[in-house]
Structure formats: C-alpha cells, structure tokens
Chain A
Amino acid sequence: MTTVPKTTTSNQNQQSISPQVDEKMLLHLSTSPHIRQPMAVPEIMKWVILALMPAFVSSVIFFGWRSIMLTVVSVGSAVGTEWFINKYFKRPCTIKDYSAVLTGLLLALNFPATLPWWTAVIGSVFAIALAKLAFGGLGSNFINPALAGRAFLVASYPAAMTNFNAPFFGSISGIDGVSGATPLSNIKDAFLAGNFDPQLFSSALRSLSIGNVGGCIGETSAIALLLGGLILVWKRIIDIRIPLSYIGTVFILFWLSNGSGSFFNSASLITPTYHVLAGGLLLGAIFMATDMVTSPITPKGRIIFGIGCGVLTFTIRKFGGYPEGVTYSILLMNLIVPLIDRYTRPKIYGEVMKRD
C-alpha cells in the first residue's frame, strides 16, 4: 500500500499533478478481479436447509412432535459438537457457516420417529466429530457426515433404527392390510415369497408420493423432497446430473428386472416407480449424493457417480440383505470420488490440437 495525497475539495485546479496535500489517503491494492458474486458458503448451506423444509414439515405432519424433538436434538448436538471441538483445539469457530446445522438436519430426517433422543445425540456427535472434523472440517471430509452418522447408528443400534411406526394418516407401508414394515421391506418380502401383486403395489404409489407411509421421518414424502430439489436446481446449488443419473439408473435397472416379464405395459412400470418413491432414494439422490464436498467436481464424473450410486442401490435392494441401500451406495461411491475426478479430467481448450 502506498500513500497518495488526498485532494481538498477547495482545490479544484485540474491542471496540477500533485494537488495540495493536507491529509493522507490510503489506496487499497489487490489483484483482480475486483468484484465477486454475492453467494457465499453460508448462503448455500441456508438454501439447502430451506430446501429441506418441505420434507421437515411433512415429517411433522405425518410423525408429529417427535420429529421436531429429534430434529432439534440432532441439530443442537451437531452444532454443539462442532463448537466444542473448535474451542477445545483452539481452532476458528466454524459453526456460522451453517454446515453443522445442515448435517444435523439431514441426519434427523434419516431417523425413525421412535428413535430415543440419546441415539440421535450419538449419531450427531459421530457425524461431526469423526466423519467431518477429524478429517479437517468442512471441505476436507471424504464421506458425507450425515450418512456416516446414519450408517454408524444402523450398525450400532439396528433395532432402534428400523423400528418404524405408522404415520398419522396412513398405514405403515401405504398398503392396506400389511403392517409392521416399510414399503421397501414389503416389496422385498413379496418378491421373496413369490406373491407379488401389482394391483396392491400400484395402489400404494399415491401414498408414497404424499408420504403417509412408514419410514424415516424425512424420506417418506416424495412431493416434499422433489419440491426441495426444484429449489436447489433453481438456485443452481446442486447439479441435476447427479440426482437424474442416480434415480434414472435405479429406475431403469428395476424396470429391466421387473417381475412381469414384459417391458412395455403399465404393470412393468410399477416396480421401478415404487422403488424410486419408496425408501430413502429421493432424499439420498437429491440431498446426500449431491453434497458438494463428497461428489465429483467434473460434469462427466458426476454422471458416473450417479450411475454408480444407482447400480449399488439396485444391487443392495435386489440381492442384498437390507431392504434399503441408499446410505451404503452413496458412502461407497464417496470413497472413489478422487478416482473419478482424476479419470474424468475435461479436455482443455486447445488440447485437441496440442503440438509437441
């Protein structure tokens, strides 16, 4: 920085190079560009949180006050953990970037309504402390913290994490006469038992779109999740390639392997549609797989990432032991993101004709 003379207003002699100096003025130096677009990291986080609000509201409608309680506990312990660890290790406080709030909220939406509050605390602490801050905090974590927290809880408290109760306005599975399981475990059991009834499952599709079925509090309402997805696409926060390729892959794979033996009638579309709407696929594809930190940076890589998630989800749901496969699919794909990024490096401008 250099001092330059400041002109007095009384000195209007334009012809002088060094006008009367009566006080010093400092000019700021910085390299270009000198303007920036206004959107910053906290705003992005706030928009994602806002986009999750329809799903949160639907969870309150269908599962009542416990979903509010679980969300508050989860968000509170996530933010508290981040604050405490920053404080303890004397690092700058990072809770104001809202990423911990988002992690807590996403995690809460993955809980069944019956989950004891202390389990929610354990999940949040694990997500923030071990999956995020242990690797360097925002931007350095290699797996999605909320999903890691959920995977940890599913492994540690399998009973509590799958104890689904019926929502207020519907049966637990959306299929009358069947109870005690989520829509996904229902279809899986039906296939395993060989008594798959297309009529029954197609009538369940409406319940699945609205969300009055059993399941994690935030994953049941397809409409609410799609609304959130539209907000994120409109604000250009998520890249539509990831959810499209993810959901599309799941849909196509289940369509190709549908039980009806035919591919061009409406019955053949029931199973794939059911699989798209049921379980955590929409929540995962729109809000978890699109997590910027843990998804590829190149456009081509994002499509590969989405397809990979879809193939894994299909494999787990179709052949695996779990009815649900979204969590592990995304977590596994998170791990190979650096590899995807390396192999989907875009061709730079002028590379076609690069001379030796």
Chain B
Amino acid sequence: MFKKYSFKGGIHPPHNKKQTESLTIEEFAAPDKVIIPLSQHIGAPAKAVVKRGDRVCIGQTIGDAGGFVSAPVHSSVSGTVKSVGMFPHPTGKQTMAVEIENDGTDEFAPLESFEKPWKEAAPGELIQKINNCGIVGMGGATFPTHVKLSPPSNKPIDTLIINGAECEPYLTADHRLMLERTEGLLTGALITRKILGAKRCTIAIEDNKADAIAAISQKLSDPKFKDLSVGVLKSKYPQGGEKQLINAVTSREVPSGGLPMDIGCVVENVSTALAIYDAIIDGKPLYQRVVTITGPLTRTPKNLLVRIGTPVMNILQACDVDFSMLKKVVTGGPMMGIALSTLDVPVIKSTSGLLTLDEKTPGIREYPCINCGKCVKICPMKLIPSRICKYAEKGKLDDAAEWNLMDCMECGSCTYTCPSKINLVHYIRLGKYQIQAKRAAQNTEQKK
C-alpha cells in the first residue's frame, strides 16, 4: 500500500502504547496555582513583563522574548501574579518563573486572530504571529518555531516533514492529536508549507499508528489538502529523530555539524503544526498542551490537555498514581526523558509525557564491555559508541572528538541495547559537556 520509510540502525523497545492510545484527550481542570517558567525553549529566557500583584488573563503575555532565538511566554490561567522568582524546572535547575494564583474565572485576554485569511498573508506576517504566540518545537527540543521558519535566503527549503513518528515508547499525545484534530494539524502543515515555500510536505507516521495513518489519508482526499502527502515509517526508535526522519523520507543526510536547512529540509512536530493552526486561525497563544500520563504505576493512564504551568503532582494525583511504590517520574519518553527530582515542577511546552516507574535504575549490575558490537550496529549516527564511551570515561577528550563524539545525538539506543549494561550515552554526554566547556574556555582566552 505504501512504501515504508526507514533509516539504518535503531532499536525496537516495547511500544507500551496500548494503555493510552485509545484514550480520548480530556481537558484537565486548571489548577489553583500555576508556575510558568520563563525559560521553556532553547535560547535566551523570556523577560518577565508582570510583577507581583498584577492581574493577568488567559493568553496574556507574561514574558517577552529575550532575543531573536527566544520565545514569549503566556499566562495559562486568569488571576493574580503571586511572585516572580526562582522555581524548580523540569530539567533539574532552578529558573525564573511566574507564579500565578488562579481566580477561577477563566477570563481570556482578547485573542487576536489573523486579520485576513492566512492564504493571503505574507510569510513574514505569519511568522510574526507565530512568534507572538510563543510557539516552540513541541517534540522535545523546544527550538523557537519562528526561527526555524526563517531560514536565510541562500538556503531554500524544498521539503517540509511533519513529524508524527512519536517513536518514544509509552507516549501517545501526538497519536491522539492526529486522530482528534486531524483537520487542524493538516491546516497547520499547509500554513507552514506556505511560509517556507516548500514544494513537498510529508506527514510522517510510524506504522504502529494505523488508525492515524488512515484518518490522515482520508482527510488528504479533500482537494484543499492536495499538496500534502503521508509517509509511512517503520516503527523503530529513533525514527522520529530529526536527522533519521529526514534520511528516511528523503534519503538525504544532514551534514555533520550542520542543520536540516542545509539540505533544504525542515522538520516540525505534529503538535507544533497544530499550535501554528491555533495561533493563526484562532489567535491562541501556546498556553496548553497534550500530555500522556502513563507508566506501570499509573492506575488510570490518560491523555490530558493540560495548562502550561500545572504542577506535576496535581496531574499524577488525578491519574491515581501508586505513590507508595513510586521510584521515578520521567518527563518525556523513557528513552530521552528527564527524571524529576521533585513533583512540584510544572508542565512546560515540551512536556509530552509523564511516566511513573517502579524501578530505581535499570540494569544496576554493570559488566565489562565485551566488544559485542551491538551499539555499533544500532547507532543511528553510525558512530562507535563503545569506543567513544571508553575515551570519554578515561578523559581522552581529543581521541573522543576524533571519533566523532560531538555527532552523537544522545538518543540512548546504545545504552538500551548494551548487554553489559554500561550507560554509554551518559559517558558520551559527559564527554560532550567537557569538550564544550574546554572550547568555551579556549574562546574566552583567545578574546583576552
């Protein structure tokens, strides 16, 4: 029926999506209090424009972009600003955040939908609107979307890939969106395609989401979506990795150290496409997102539409999590997600899932590397993880860099597959961090 796209390498962890893939998205009630971090994206944190005691409405800007690579932040409730200060962030740091007490009136700030039909608007105007609505890559990388959609004029984009792979186990938020808001995200894709002037626009979906593929294919028979196409992907991890996805769909390779735009591609998550639709058609800023709450200790797993800033604890309670057994809570998927140190952290724009686990750390007993080559076989970047890991572990940073340490995308497939249970990607991350620190130190020295 379809040619299935794929890339070389990768792993097949158990999908664990059955628990939530058939559950309709429910809206989660706004909490009493939200904590909205000003840094929910890659780049400069937003600057707070509200202060203690201010009254804010839903969708009102509370933080202005702190630079070009930055994004504004909006309130997700109506109420009073209680404080602007340091709060725990899902990444484990303390960052500036705005704490707002919900007054329960759900009063909206005036939403400014686009003044003319989007088809008649210039790309610049659309990008401006996307920027104002604080849209960032919702697949996890949180790169500000308006930056991604403004490639330099010497880098024409011919291919737009809408990423519906959702290759991380457990997560079903994107899957549900593709089923429930098909028309919206397809329109979002068309808007993006218009902005980029891309000839080809493919919505790429893994073959374990047959119903989503069917739903989107059916919609595509509508003539207004004639410029879009569906690409069926083989289900494996990390099929949704930007570089792997581009390689699978177009057979091109993003140059080492380069960006997708260097080879004329842009990849955008389905949630982001939908957020663009909401921003352009309804004028809605990004103040809520769909989160999959699942995992072995979640008694009632759910797909919830959550206001940004809702504390994780509130959501876990609503999903009847067995706190007595709880050992670990992960935001995002199990392969690349971050383990939380406290449940007081809020949901942010990139929180695609909350995973409750009963294990401390999998594979505690570590064996010596037996050179089995499984990590080499599966590495989607075609590196030799075992070797790089050994170099990084021993502090031989130059050797590690020479063996392409910096090209690692940290997907964690090597660690997953290692029979010696060595956390390869951890040492590789450590090596990358040390090399970056070293390079930064050298740069400052040169400046002197």
Using a CB–CB cutoff of 8 Å, the interface residues on chain A facing chain B are: 1-2, 4, 6-7, 12, 14-19, 25, 27-37, 39-41, 43-44, 97, 136-140, 239, 292-299, 302, 341, 345-355
Residues of B contacting A347 in the complex (Cβ-Cβ under 8 angstroms) = 382
Report whether A12 and B317 are in contact in the complex, using a CB–CB cutoff of 8 Å: yes
Q: Is B148 an interface residue (CB 8 A)?
A: no
Interface range, B side: 35 or more
Closest 4 CB pairs of A and B: A139-B368, A33-B412, A353-B255, A350-B256
Q: Taking A31-B425, A299-B377, A351-B404 as given, write out 12 further A-B residue pairs in contact, using a Cβ cutoff of 8 Å, ordered by the A residue number.
A: A1-B341, A4-B341, A19-B313, A28-B327, A31-B339, A138-B367, A139-B368, A297-B386, A341-B387, A346-B376, A347-B382, A349-B382
CB 8 Å contact bits of B330-368 with A (1 = contact, 0 = none) = 100011111111111000000000010101111101011
State in angstroms the CA–CA spacing of A298 and B380 once bound together.
14
Partner of A293, one of B313, B336, B371, B419: B371
State in angstroms the CA–CA spacing of A341 and B371 once bound together.
11
Complex: chain A residue closest to B247, CB-CB: A349
Given the known interface contacts A17-B311, A138-B367, the answer about A35 and B419 at a Cβ–Cβ threshold of 8 Å is no
Report whether B365 and A40 are in contact in the complex, using a CB–CB cutoff of 8 Å: yes
Partner of B367, one of A40, A297, A348: A40
Report whether A36 and B368 are in contact in the complex, using a CB–CB cutoff of 8 Å: no
Given the known interface contacts A14-B318, A35-B169, A299-B377, the answer about A25 and B323 at a Cβ–Cβ threshold of 8 Å is yes
Given the known interface contacts A25-B323, A28-B360, the answer about A350 and B407 at a Cβ–Cβ threshold of 8 Å is yes
Q: Is B74 an interface residue (CB 8 A)?
A: no
Report whether A27 and B314 are in contact in the complex, using a CB–CB cutoff of 8 Å: no
Report whether B412 and A17 are in contact in the complex, using a CB–CB cutoff of 8 Å: no
Given the known interface contacts A33-B336, A292-B372, the answer about A17 and B344 at a Cβ–Cβ threshold of 8 Å is yes
Partner of A27, one of B339, B370, B416: B339
State in angstroms the CA–CA spacing of A29 and B253 once bound together.
35
Report whether B419 and A40 are in contact in the complex, using a CB–CB cutoff of 8 Å: yes
Given the known interface contacts A19-B313, A37-B13, A355-B257, the answer about A2 and B341 at a Cβ–Cβ threshold of 8 Å is yes
Report whether A355 and B372 are in contact in the complex, using a CB–CB cutoff of 8 Å: no
State in angstroms the CA–CA spacing of A29 and B340 once bound together.
7
Report whether A30 and B361 are in contact in the complex, using a CB–CB cutoff of 8 Å: yes
Given the known interface contacts A28-B360, A34-B337, A139-B370, the answer about A348 and B311 at a Cβ–Cβ threshold of 8 Å is no
Report whether B341 and A7 are in contact in the complex, using a CB–CB cutoff of 8 Å: no
Q: Is B381 an interface residue (CB 8 A)?
A: yes
Report whether A32 and B425 are in contact in the complex, using a CB–CB cutoff of 8 Å: yes
Residues of B contacting A44 in the complex (Cβ-Cβ under 8 angstroms) = 370, 372, 419
User: What are 25 pairs between A and B in contact, CB < 8 Å?
Assistant: A6-B323, A14-B317, A16-B314, A25-B323, A28-B328, A29-B339, A30-B339, A31-B426, A31-B429, A33-B425, A34-B330, A34-B334, A34-B359, A36-B363, A138-B367, A139-B367, A299-B373, A299-B376, A341-B387, A347-B382, A348-B382, A349-B243, A349-B380, A352-B255, A353-B263
Report whether A36 and B371 are in contact in the complex, using a CB–CB cutoff of 8 Å: no
Residues of B contacting A296 in the complex (Cβ-Cβ under 8 angstroms) = 373
Distance (Å) between the CB of A277 and the closest chain B CB?
29
Residues of B contacting A12 in the complex (Cβ-Cβ under 8 angstroms) = 317
Q: Is B83 an interface residue (CB 8 A)?
A: no
Partner of B357, one of A34, A294, A341, A350: A34
Residues of B contacting A40 in the complex (Cβ-Cβ under 8 angstroms) = 363, 365, 367, 419-421
Report whether B258 and A346 are in contact in the complex, using a CB–CB cutoff of 8 Å: no
